[in-house]
C-alpha cells in the first residue's frame, strides 16, 4: 500500500514538472512575440495611429459610380421613411385594464 502511494506521488510530481516546463516554454514564446510592442516608444505608436492614409483616386468613372450609389442610398432612405410613416400604428390603452394587459 505504501509503495502504491509512493508511486502516485512520484507520477504526480513528474506530471507537475512537465506541465511547469510546458508553461514556461509557452510563456517565453509569448514574451518573445510581443516584446516588439514594448520596444517601440509610445510617441511613435501615437504618431502611427494618428497618420491618415491617403488614396490617389483620379478616375472619373469612379466619381460617376459614387454619385449613382449616393442617389440609390438616398432613394432607399426616402422609401423606408415613407414606409414607416404609412405603417405607424396607434395604440389604445384602456384605463380599467391592469398593467401588462391591453
Place of cell 490617389: 56
Predicted model pTM: 0.37
93 touches 102 (CB < 8 A): yes
Residue 1 located in a structural domain: yes
pLDDT of residue 60: 56
Residue 51 located in a structural domain: no
Instruction: Count how many domains the chain has.
Output: 1
DSSP-derived secondary structure letter, 77: H
Residue 101 located in a structural domain: no
Residue 41 located in a structural domain: yes
Residue 102 located in a structural domain: no
Residue 90 located in a structural domain: no
Distance CA 97, CA 101 (A): 6
What contacts 24+ positions apart, CB below 8 Å, involve 17-24?
Answer: none
Would you write out the chain's pLDDT as a tens digit for each of its 102 residues? 899 999 999 999 999 999 999 999 999 999 888 887 777 777 777 887 887 776 666 655 556 667 787 888 888 888 777 665 555 555 555 555 555 554
Distance CA 47, CA 53 (A): 13
pLDDT of residue 35: 81
pLDDT of residue 20: 98
pLDDT of residue 5: 94
pLDDT of residue 18: 98
Residue 82 located in a structural domain: no
Residue 8 located in a structural domain: yes
For 37, the domain range is 1-46
Helices (H), the chain: 2-39, 42-50, 60-86
Amino acid at each position: 500500500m505504501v509503495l502504491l502511494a509512493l508511486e502516485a506521488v512520484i507520477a504526480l510530481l513528474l506530471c507537475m514538472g512537465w506541465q511547469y516546463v510546458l508553461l514556461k516554454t509557452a510563456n517565453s514564446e509569448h514574451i518573445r512575440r510581443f516584446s516588439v510592442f514594448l520596444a517601440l516608444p509610445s510617441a511613435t505608436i501615437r504618431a502611427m495611429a494618428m497618420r491618415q492614409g491617403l488614396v490617389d483616386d483620379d478616375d472619373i468613372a469612379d466619381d460617376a459610380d459614387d454619385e449613382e450609389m449616393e442617389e440609390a442610398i438616398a432613394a432607399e432612405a426616402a422609401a423606408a421613411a415613407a414606409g414607416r410613416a404609412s405603417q405607424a400604428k396607434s395604440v389604445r390603452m384602456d384605463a380599467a385594464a391592469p398593467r401588462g394587459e391591453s
